[in-house]
Structure 1
């Protein structure tokens, strides 16, 4: 029987906060409960915001939490060839296209449509679905941008992608905490169409989160993905990419979020919730567990 493998995959683009502590501890506890392994992955695609200093601080925080650091640690910045190979496979299938509309142009176009009374579709995160270059730009403008090597995003043609995968497609969702870890997973039907043509890479960035996470989970042999509830809906996109690329399907678990006092999701910019600031203020392990509901 294959032993379960869990992972905690933070980005060193800011200091870890209480939500990261909950996710890391839940993954480590689940690995122990199920006699499995716990791995750490460094999601450092953004080489501008992710720095060696922040990575060092991150590992100090994890050591303070008492979490094991099993080698080797996978760093996304060292895995660009793997993302490029996956992207090329999707391109060879005819499922990827360059999109030249900028974020500002998309925002202005959608705002104009909504101001005119049109209800523009949005993805589960609330972002407007991509309207398509030809909806906004003339063929001459698109050709000019391509010829001038203008910035672009590489997007997945979701309609074409869904035509190539099982229908209906499902993922396996199990419990995230306590005794629920031992319950059999249930099937959740994929609704990837709700995301529209998601970005897989950009001119200056070799991969997006969606592509990198499925490639990395497969490379590390991750059997159980235990992550925040805010990524629940994104699992639909990940299952489509896994099936297109012939990658294994992990069991998914989505845990509750640690929220700020005003109900917002915690962010790294909110320094009063960073582990380093709380540690400096004298936070104990017992107090930490109480604050995050453990």
Structure 2
């Protein structure tokens, strides 16, 4: 029987609580995790000396990735992002590198072998969701940020093809979740195969653009953060937006909101509206599969209800 995780001091005054450590252990095993965290602690100490960083003393929140904040005398306010070394974290780092530009968060330094990044901290960092814009205005900002982000992918071996990203949906076995309406996931699977079989473009995708991944900087510019690092058809990148912000899909007028969003995305991005609707269904079905396979599913009933709603966009 595995002994409970003990707190781990990742940097002076910053302790990873047992709940986070246990999640890491469940993911990649205790021995591998302990070696990785020791390497992270050594590199953090090195960076703090080299960049003259003073870290904020906080208890990291209970999330899969660990995010720390500090101030460097050379680089200003910084964010340190620590992720278990996986193909997903490698793809994120590569996307951050490739997306370099004034409208994207700046990568200051990285240690790919241990999935450690030092990024600029966006100040004031107000999320698009929280500035009081109407939904249509926020959607136009999102569309503009996609046009700014998209580019010909480089180093494709370090990015994630949509076919791999969608594996849980493509390989879904209805018998594993008999409580679910099989017809909904079947529709999602059929649409996924149709879209992936004949893509109309191939680009570097953000993969997770929503209202909290666009932050306001002090010069009043919007800055995009937290890409997934995918490769595929441009239309997929509107899909996460359609499910956000939190609570929007539960509104009585959600279908009206979703249709207006599709109109805006089709207009600004120059994409086929009907195909964008299919990408929304694709991602909704995929998200439901992720939710069901999660260690602690968040809201499978809500995901089912959202998928039922978004399928109506195909009419």
TM superposition score category, shorter chain reference: under 0.3
- Higher-RCO chain (CA-CA 8 Å, sequence separation at least 6): 1
TM-score after normalising by structure 2 = 0.24
